[in-house]
Chain A
Amino acid sequence: MEKLKEKSIELIIIYKRKQLCLGFFETSRNILENVDINFIKVYYKVINALGGIPMKKIWLIMTTLVLSITLIGCNNQEEEGVYSLATWAAGTELSELQEIVDEVNEEAEGEFEIKINSIPSNYYQQIAVLMGARQAPDMFWLTQEIVPKYAHDLGALADISDNLEDSEKLNLDDYYEGVIESTYYDGSYWGLPWISNPLVVYYNQDLFDQAGVEAPSETDDWDWNEFIDKAEALTGETNHNGDDVYGTVIDGWPNLETFLWSGGGDVIADDYETIVLDSEASINGLDNLHEMITKGITPRYGIVDSLGGNNVWFERQQAAMFMGGVQDDFEEKIERMDEEDKFELGYAPMPTNLDGSKSSFNWTASTVLHKSNEDDPLAYEAMEALTLKIFDWKIAPPVKDSTDKIIDSNPDKEAMIPTIEHTLQFARSGHYIPEWDGTSGINDRLWYDLYLQMLRDEDFDYVSAAEDIADFSRDLIGERE
């Protein structure tokens, strides 16, 4: 057997001398030196037997193999009624989703079947690759700001407006207006939102009591001036560990839209076309943000990460207020703390904007249908059944009269319900357009050239920067084909 092995290696060396395909010979030699000798024996016999085949036939074999592999790779035959769902869920979230999908499949009684394709990292890149390979998932999850790009630029989404209007199980009226708008673009609806995560203000009641500052109400309106006044009064207090306390923490979160809205402005108007970033109202909003930074009610941008994240400042009682989503699990974290580190948690809606309007940024995600399923009512039915089931799982469900489900799935959040119910009435996402996302998109410019600079430099000329980005955004829209 050893002789056989030696012969194989020798053969390879002969061909190597002929300078043929260096990489292959190196690999083959490595394999031959390491693999099971029985495998080599079989392999060598097969090759030797095939050695009698004329060269023309070998070329034919090769061509057939190449074509076969290509055709197998291109094969995208789908089983009827079986739909793939791409998700970023992983770990526990994936197991829970699998249970939900199993239930949906069972209830469908064979009419359709959903199969999960978990893509926990590089989600959007993987979706792009799958689409490029003509293997796009039938359904997939998208966050709100990406929807217009996929719908308009890529033409990858099915327009579900008619289905949504006709359905008796789930239609437009069931959703909060601000939530369903997150899948609206160019006169159509492109997905079914399954989660709504509006911003509220979490506050530390103990620190408010210590500073003698009146805490905000869980549902009554309060405005940004009050927010800043309270934050200023709380800043400079010392917590139970002797650490300095800040009124709040701003480090790129909350997002810029929150502050633009605070002045009554926005990046893009509700016609999804007009850029209003440099309007007087938007500049008022930026003034508001600038005031918070310069008054020192938030730790400097550069030191926020020193504790491991903005939420940690609140958890360690070094920030008295935190603008966070419903999914921030401070209740559970406080429960697990040592007795001396625990504090009383309070909730308030986001402050009313300076022009009297109300808003709260609402992070939403939707399930969308791939364009190839646009004319398949069964695919929509499957997506709808899945979405309805997810409402019992994720908090907060994006549909009206469903806050009871939050208590069922997350009893810790019971005290928060009045604030969530109040906030969901006016919570909304941004008016996103296809040019929002991407490396040369509006969002990148807003962060790198405006928000980040404001956080880093108190003297930064944010008005000029906003005007520049507004012009840049108008140019982008103007370049649309």
Chain B
Amino acid sequence: MKRSRVGFLFILPWLIGLILFTTFPLIAALFIGFTDWNIAGNANWVGFDNYIELFGEDAFWNAMWVTFRYAIVAIPMTTITALVVAIVLAKDMRGAGIFRVIFYMPAVVSGAAVAIIFKWILDANFGLLNGFLELFGINGPDWLGDPSWVFPSYLILALWGAGSGLFIFLAAIKDIPRSLYESAIIDGASVFQQATRITMPLVTPIIFYSLVMGIIGAFRKFTDAFILGGAGDQGEFVMVYLYDLAFADYQMGKATALAWILFMIILTLTVILNVSKKYWVHTE
């Protein structure tokens, strides 16, 4: 009994932090979402007005469209890229170590630094990318200044950072017993059959994990979007819109309502993914 009390005392400082800085703000945010709090004044109860207003705003639907479109394209794109590169790097060919370092490097650079570098890379007049395209006689677009090129710009950035997921796939592939491949080879399986019948099924738990994290990441996308922006509100992801509502427009009530909508979307998508798990995720 004493041992359990001692244990409880050990976790007490953390527990106090959890209550003060996580539980309490969470409940407060739920309440604030039903008020017209503008930060400076008093909060008045407005019921579901914030939610109703949000659903009636073009800016809200634009932010949703920008975020969903990014999630639908970027998550599968980066997952497939990471998986394919991991399969190749798992072969332990010459120089694989160097490539692993190169692919993983983006993961260790801070988001703000990446965004600032990409602002220069994507610059219409002096950017590295347009300079490269010019070598082939191509007049590069105004990546972040032309609304129709903002989305591809973010995809380029996402692809560049795909290496962070690569190592989880690599670890999973390396974890697959060699005996399975050896048996398959004896049975006459081709390289493609080995990849689709052995590697793919056994890495589905990692794909599942990657998709869940990808969805959460896409809906929480902020740092690079905040710095890079994008013409025609095409860089206005939900989190950026939320930040703007709270700290530029001082509509804290509406911003917290949006946070709860965001939470519900992420929760719903994660639940759907979880339900679908039994149909495609391989478990022992």
Q: Is the CB of A62 within 8 A of B14?
A: no
Contact with A along B1-31 (1 / 0, CB 8 A): 0110111111110111001100010000000
Q: With contacts A14-B7, A58-B9, A69-B20 known, what are 19 further pairs, Cβ within 8 A?
A: A11-B7, A11-B10, A15-B7, A21-B11, A23-B14, A58-B12, A61-B12, A69-B16, A124-B247, A125-B247, A128-B246, A128-B247, A129-B39, A154-B41, A156-B40, A306-B125, A306-B126, A456-B142, A456-B145
Q: Is the CB of B6 within 8 A of A51?
A: yes
Q: Is the CB of B15 within 8 A of A27?
A: no
Give the number of A-B contacts (CB < 8 Å): 108
- Knowing A27-B14, A51-B9 touch, does A132 contact B249 (C-beta < 8 A)? no
CA distance A55 to B1 in the complex (A): 9
Q: Is the CB of B39 within 8 A of A131?
A: yes
Q: Is the CB of A47 within 8 A of B6?
A: yes
Closest residue of B by beta carbon distance from A51: B6
Report chain B residues within 8 Å CB of A65.
12, 16
**B15-74 interface (Cβ within 8 A of A):** 15-16, 19-20, 24, 38-41, 59
Report chain B residues within 8 Å CB of A458.
none
Report chain B residues within 8 Å CB of A440.
59, 249
The residue from A12, A53, A62 contacting B16, defined by CB atoms under 8 A apart: A62
Counting from the closest, the 6 A-B pairs by CB-CB distance are A154-B40, A156-B40, A439-B244, A24-B14, A51-B6, A438-B249
CA distance A61 to B13 in the complex (A): 11
Report chain B residues within 8 Å CB of A50.
5-6, 9
A302 beta carbon closer than 8 Å to chain B: yes
CA distance A52 to B3 in the complex (A): 10
Closest residue of A by beta carbon distance from B6: A51
Report chain B residues within 8 Å CB of A28.
10
Contact with B along A39-51 (1 / 0, CB 8 A): 0000000011011
Number of chain B residues whose Cβ lies closer than 8 Å to a Cβ of chain A: 37
Chain A interface size range: 35 or more
Q: Is the CB of A438 within 8 A of B248?
A: yes
**B213-241 interface (Cβ within 8 A of A):** 231-232, 241
Closest residue of A by beta carbon distance from B58: A440
| Shortest Cβ gap from A10 to chain B (Å) | 12
Report chain A residues within 8 Å CB of B125.
302-303, 305-306
Q: Is the CB of B8 within 8 A of A58?
A: yes
Secondary structure class of chain A's binding surface, majority of residues: helix
Q: Is the CB of A24 within 8 A of B40?
A: no
| 20 contacting pairs across A/B (C-beta < 8 A) | A50-B6, A51-B5, A52-B5, A53-B5, A55-B5, A61-B12, A128-B39, A128-B246, A129-B39, A153-B250, A154-B38, A154-B41, A156-B40, A156-B41, A303-B125, A438-B244, A438-B250, A439-B248, A439-B249, A440-B249
Q: Is the CB of B12 within 8 A of A62?
A: yes
Closest residue of A by beta carbon distance from B5: A51
B203 beta carbon closer than 8 Å to chain A: no
B85 beta carbon closer than 8 Å to chain A: no
Closest residue of A by beta carbon distance from B125: A302
Q: Is the CB of B7 within 8 A of A20?
A: yes
Report chain B residues within 8 Å CB of A48.
6
Report chain A residues within 8 Å CB of B40.
128, 131-132, 136, 150, 154-156, 371
Q: Is the CB of B6 within 8 A of A11?
A: yes
Report chain B residues within 8 Å CB of A441.
249
| Shortest Cβ gap from A439 to chain B (Å) | 4
Closest residue of B by beta carbon distance from A136: B40
For B10, B38, B126, the residue with the greatest tally of chain A CB atoms inside 10 Å of its CB is: B10
Report chain A residues within 8 Å CB of B9.
47, 50-51, 58
**B102-140 interface (Cβ within 8 A of A):** 124-126
Q: Is the CB of A66 within 8 A of B5?
A: no
CA distance A27 to B126 in the complex (A): 46
Q: Is the CB of A132 within 8 A of B59?
A: no
Report chain A residues within 8 Å CB of B173.
none
A19 beta carbon closer than 8 Å to chain B: no
